[in-house]
Structure 1
Amino acid sequence: MRGVNLIAEYDIIINELAGNGRGKTVWETVKPILEQRQINFDYHVSKYAGHTTRLAAQFAKVARFKPDVTPVLLVIGGDGTLNEALNGLMSVPRKQQVPLAYIPGGSGNDFARGLDMATKPEIALAQILNNMRPRMLNIGYYHETLKNDHRYFVNNVGLGFDAQIVDDTNRSKQKGRLGHWAYLSNALKAYTQQEGFSLTVHVGRQRDYYKHAFLCTTSNQPYFGGGVKILPQANLYDDQLELIVLETPHWWTVAWLFCLLLAGGRHLNSRFIHHYRQANLHLLVNSVEIGQMDGQVIGNRNYDLYLSTQPYPFWIDTSIHDH
């Protein structure tokens, strides 16, 4: 397939409610361009939580590759919408996987940041329409053995503090205004709610035990929380995951680490931070803790969590830049 230019036929899923209605605005910008250029597409509006997963699975069942024509699933929404679409596609066994395209229309859009996608919908669309072949990116995979829960993620999985922030943010009126300061205000609230918990990190034959873990985030790319660059070295193009662990800190430690975070990732050099870079991770939490995946809460429970990556084809050419 490499080196062959292909025509794409698009099945589009729109989450109009993403980003406090930004998903709908993006679609209203994109649809006339598709029609003007006479692009072959069909579209569906995601109407409830989990609907995108169902729509993506339905497309995966019927999508057919033809000579020089590739079926592409294009998602317009936030990171949660993209996560649902990926899990829908992965739920249907296929010999040839359906490439996934994405136009950011959410409040956080961390996947788009990690991929260096354009922020303007017209240019993001051009990055898709001018693409000529699938490009393999690494997606995250987790298996939680206590509930036998298998899922895929594009950004990160967090236990404890960052999941508490996600829960507070999703409940608050600041949902549509993510960024450093909205994140900081929710972080201060979550700090008062989150207690330390026991965490065991298995990496190969190494076993590290943290008696008072506070933050435990595994990431496939640098950003979380709507642009907070928590793991600068994380890369969608390699098969490595990055894990950051912080034990229960004093409030001044949190403030200091946040300043280092804003100063370009210097927080990873702090003695308070434990940092891992591995292809496979195993996390064990023996207390009931809140968890999040790609900005969506995955519940309060104990965790026996195995994390890894695998390649998946995406239909995006980021060499076209947003100017």
Structure 2
Amino acid sequence: MKTDPAAPLFVVNPMSGGGRTKKRWPALERALARAGFEPDAAFTMYHGHGYGLAAAALEDGRRTIIAVGGDGTLNEIISAVIDAGQAAGVRVGTIPMGTGKDVGKCLGIADPVRAIRAIASGAERRLDVGRVAAHDEFGNPVVRHFLLELSAGWIPEVSKSTPRMLKLLGDTAPYIMTTFAKMLGPMNRDFEVQIDGQQFHGRYNSVSIHNMELWGGDMVAVPGAAPDDGLFDVIRWGPLGRRAVIKAVRDMQAGGTHLGTEGIDHHAARVIELASPKKSYLDADGEPGGYLPARIEILPGILRFLAPE
């Protein structure tokens, strides 16, 4: 059967949201049918499968691909579209079903009903995407992309270490619990940071690069950060001790009052270079982003995203 390029493909991660998506898919399918769709769905079976499903759909001529899952599932779809060089002709959307739903919250479509309405309306926003040139664990060059955030240092270790079963507890609680557990180990390391040509060298807890204002559920990393202004918001965290980290978490939960406090520095930038003498993992939208050293640059307005203005 020939693929209808106009019909969206729904790439469903049944294990997202701690496995809740698998249980909720039949109800979502009925909601999509009521919105006028005949849902054509492909289900991921392992990490990275969403990328492969999206790449195959693009080869078949598909022009709309919707991620049904978490921000990591959406990241795989976006990466496949950009890597294929088809961002100009392909629309991407999401029905957020993951733990944090950060992208959905930032775009006003965290609720599945609103997300389906946005997809059905066809309204588009042109969004910026981050491009990361980094290395894999063996030192080979890799390229990754991110829509929400990229981080290096202690913070991505929290995301990487959050158990799947904890994600059943809600949007923010799993990350808060893992944060406190990770405080028992080392929390700071040396970084070389270059932000639009300005050099910084020092000891930091983490360096994070944001394209939207939220992360970790309901925590506000950068109040008002816009995904369509052609700029990243970069935060240099540290060095921070346990009390400072606890205060920063509380300040982010309170709406983002952490910026400007001692030890936390904020910059707007287009190009960032990161390096560290310690092997440092990169988190890109909750997905593996490679290892340092890395060069990060913004791709302004590259993504056609189904969401209201």
When the two structures are superposed, what TM-score results if normalisation uses the length of structure 1? Answer: 0.85
Amino acid at match of 2:47: A
Q: C-alpha separation between the residues in 1 aligned to 2:216 and 2:66?
A: 23
User: CA contact under 8 A between 2:88 and 2:303: conserved in structure 1?
Assistant: no
> What residue number does 1:153 align with?
146
The verdict on how the C-alpha distance between 1:317 and 1:297 changes in structure 2, with shifts beyond 3 A counting, is closer
Tell me by how many angstroms 1:111 deviates.
0.8
Q: C-alpha separation between the residues in 1 aligned to 2:166 and 2:33?
A: 35
> What residue number does 1:67 align with?
none
Tell me by how many angstroms 1:37 deviates.
4.7
> What residue number does 1:218 align with?
209
Amino acid at match of 1:262: Q
The verdict on how the C-alpha distance between 1:95 and 1:188 changes in structure 2, with shifts beyond 3 A counting, is closer
SS for the counterpart of 2:14 is coil
Tell me by how many angstroms 1:263 deviates.
2.4
Amino acid at match of 1:158: S
> What residue number does 2:271 align with?
280
Q: Structure 1 residues 139-148 or 100-109, which shifts more?
A: 139-148
Tell me by how many angstroms 1:191 deviates.
2.1
Amino acid at match of 2:108: D
Tell me by how many angstroms 1:46 deviates.
1.1
Q: 1:12 aligns with which of 4, 10, 15?
A: 10
Q: CA RMSD in A?
A: 2.2
Tell me by how many angstroms 1:22 deviates.
2.4
Q: C-alpha separation between the residues in 2 aligned to 1:115 and 1:38?
A: 23
User: CA contact under 8 A between 2:221 and 2:256: conserved in structure 1?
Assistant: yes
- Aligned pairs for 1:285-304 (under 5 A) are 285-298=276-289, 301-304=291-294
Identity %: 22
Q: C-alpha separation between the residues in 1 aligned to 2:273 and 2:170?
A: 30
Which ranges of 4 or more aligned residues in structure 1 deviate by more than 4 Å? none
- Aligned pairs for 1:242-257 (under 5 A) are 242-257=233-248
Q: C-alpha separation between the residues in 2 aligned to 1:24 and 1:123?
A: 20
- Aligned pairs for 1:178-257 (under 5 A) are 178-210=170-202, 212-257=203-248
- Aligned pairs for 1:1-323 (under 5 A) are 8-63=6-61, 71-94=63-86, 96-119=88-111, 121-132=112-123, 134-144=124-134, 147-169=140-162, 171=163, 173-210=165-202, 212-298=203-289, 301-318=291-308
The verdict on how the C-alpha distance between 1:91 and 1:310 changes in structure 2, with shifts beyond 3 A counting, is same
Q: C-alpha separation between the residues in 1 aligned to 2:198 and 2:110?
A: 40
Q: C-alpha separation between the residues in 2 aligned to 1:278 and 1:117?
A: 27
SS for the counterpart of 2:205 is strand
Amino acid at match of 1:177: L
Tell me by how many angstroms 1:110 deviates.
0.8
User: CA contact under 8 A between 1:166 and 1:297: conserved in structure 2?
Assistant: no
SS for the counterpart of 1:176 is helix
What per-residue deviation string (whole Å, max 9, x for no partner) do you get for residues 243-283 of structure 1? 11112222222222223222221100202101111122111
Tell me by how many angstroms 1:157 deviates.
1.1
Q: Which runs of 5+ in 2 are unaligned?
A: none
Tell me by how many angstroms 1:24 deviates.
2.3
Q: C-alpha separation between the residues in 2 aligned to 1:291 and 1:95?
A: 24
Q: How many residues align?
A: 302
Q: C-alpha separation between the residues in 2 aligned to 1:197 and 1:74?
A: 38
Amino acid at match of 2:57: F
Q: C-alpha separation between the residues in 2 aligned to 1:22 and 1:221?
A: 25
User: CA contact under 8 A between 1:284 and 1:305: conserved in structure 2?
Assistant: no
Q: C-alpha separation between the residues in 2 aligned to 1:79 and 1:16?
A: 13
Q: C-alpha separation between the residues in 2 aligned to 1:317 and 1:304?
A: 31
SS for the counterpart of 1:175 is helix
SS for the counterpart of 1:54 is helix
User: CA contact under 8 A between 2:211 and 2:232: conserved in structure 1?
Assistant: yes
Q: Structure 1 residues 283-292 or 108-117, which shifts more?
A: 283-292
The verdict on how the C-alpha distance between 1:122 and 1:263 changes in structure 2, with shifts beyond 3 A counting, is closer
SS for the counterpart of 1:173 is helix
Q: Which runs of 5+ in 1 are unaligned?
A: 1-6, 65-70
What per-residue deviation string (whole Å, max 9, x for no partner) do you get for residues 223-247 of structure 1? 1112211122321121111111112
Q: C-alpha separation between the residues in 2 aligned to 1:113 and 1:62?
A: 31
Amino acid at match of 2:263: F
Q: Structure 1 residues 282-291 or 152-161, which shifts more?
A: 282-291
> What residue number does 1:3 align with?
none
